[in-house]
Amino acid sequence: MTLFLRLRKLALAGALLLRGTYLAAQAPAAATLLQPAAVFDGETLHPGWAVLVEGERIRAVGPANQMPIPTGVRIVALPGLTLLPGLIEGHSHLLLHPYNETSWNDQVLLESQALRVARATAHAQRTLQAGFTTARDLGTEGADYADVGLKQAIEQGLIPGPRLLIATRALVATGCYGPKLSVDVAVPQGAQEVSGPDEIVRAVREQVGKGADVVKVYADYRLSATGPAVPTFSQDELNLLVTTARSLGKPVVAHASTPEGMRRATLAGVETIEHGDGGTPEVFRLMRQRGVALCPTVAASDAISQYRGWRRGQSPEPERITQKRQSMQAARKAGVALAIGGDVGVFAHGDNVRELELLVQEHGLTPLEVLRGATSGNAHLFHLPDRGRVAPNLLADLVAVQGNPTTDVQALRQVQWVMKGGVVYRQP
DSSP 29: -
Least reliable range by pLDDT among 13-22, 70-79, 114-123, 228-237: 13-22
* Residue 6 or residue 196, greater confidence: 196
Exposure letters 311-334 (e unless 16+ CB within 10 A, then b): eeeeeeebebbebbbebbebbbeb
In this prediction, residue 196 carries a pLDDT of 97
Sign of CA dihedral 329, 330, 332, 337: negative
pLDDT tens track for 161-211: 999 999 999 999 999 999 998 888 889 999 999 999 999 999 999 999 999
In this prediction, residue 103 carries a pLDDT of 97
DSSP 377: I
* Residue 14 or residue 113, greater confidence: 113
pLDDT tens track for 237-257: 999 999 999 999 999 999 999
Residues forming beta bridges with residue 193, ordered by sequence position: 172
Cα separation, 6 vs 323, whole angstroms? 66
Residues forming beta bridges with residue 132, ordered by sequence position: 87
- Angle at the Cα of 116 (from 113 to 119), degrees rounded to 5? 150
Cα separation, 380 vs 128, whole angstroms? 20
Q: In this model, does residue 20 exceed pLDDT 80?
A: no
Cα separation, 348 vs 90, whole angstroms? 15
Percent of the chain with pLDDT over 90: 88
Which pTM was predicted? 0.93
pLDDT tens track for 42-88: 999 999 999 999 999 999 999 999 988 888 999 999 999 999 999 99
As a three-state string, the secondary structure of 49-118 is EEEEEECCEEEEEEEHHHCCCCCCCEEEEEEEEEEEECEEEEEECCCCCCCCCCCHHHHHHHCCHHHHHH
Task: Provide the residue ranges of all domains of the chain, joining segments of one domain with +.
Answer: 31-85+390-426, 87-381
In this prediction, residue 418 carries a pLDDT of 98
Length of the chain as a residue count: 428
Residue in 124, 117, 90 with CA at minimum distance from that of residue 373: 90
In this prediction, residue 362 carries a pLDDT of 97
Residue in 400, 302, 288 with CA at minimum distance from that of residue 351: 302
In this prediction, residue 1 carries a pLDDT of 45
Q: In this model, does residue 124 exceed pLDDT 60?
A: yes
In this prediction, residue 93 carries a pLDDT of 98
| CATH code of domain 87-381 | 3.20.20.140
Q: In this model, does residue 5 exceed pLDDT 90?
A: no
In this prediction, residue 29 carries a pLDDT of 59
Cα separation, 341 vs 136, whole angstroms? 9
Examine domains 31-85+390-426 and 87-381 and report if their fold is the same: no
In this prediction, residue 183 carries a pLDDT of 87
Exposure letters 355-390 (e unless 16+ CB within 10 A, then b): bbbbbbeebebebbbbbbbbbbbbbbbbebeebbbb
pLDDT band, residue 2 (cuts 50/70/90): very low
| CATH code of domain 31-85+390-426 | 2.30.40.10
Q: In this model, does residue 4 exceed pLDDT 50?
A: no
Residues 104 and 138 sit within 8 Å (Cβ to Cβ): no
Q: In this model, does residue 22 exceed pLDDT 50?
A: no
Q: In this model, does residue 18 exceed pLDDT 80?
A: no
Kindly report the average pLDDT of the chain as a whole number.
Answer: 93
In this prediction, residue 21 carries a pLDDT of 33
pLDDT tens track for 318-360: 999 999 999 999 999 999 999 999 999 999 999 999 999 999 9
Q: In this model, does residue 126 exceed pLDDT 50?
A: yes
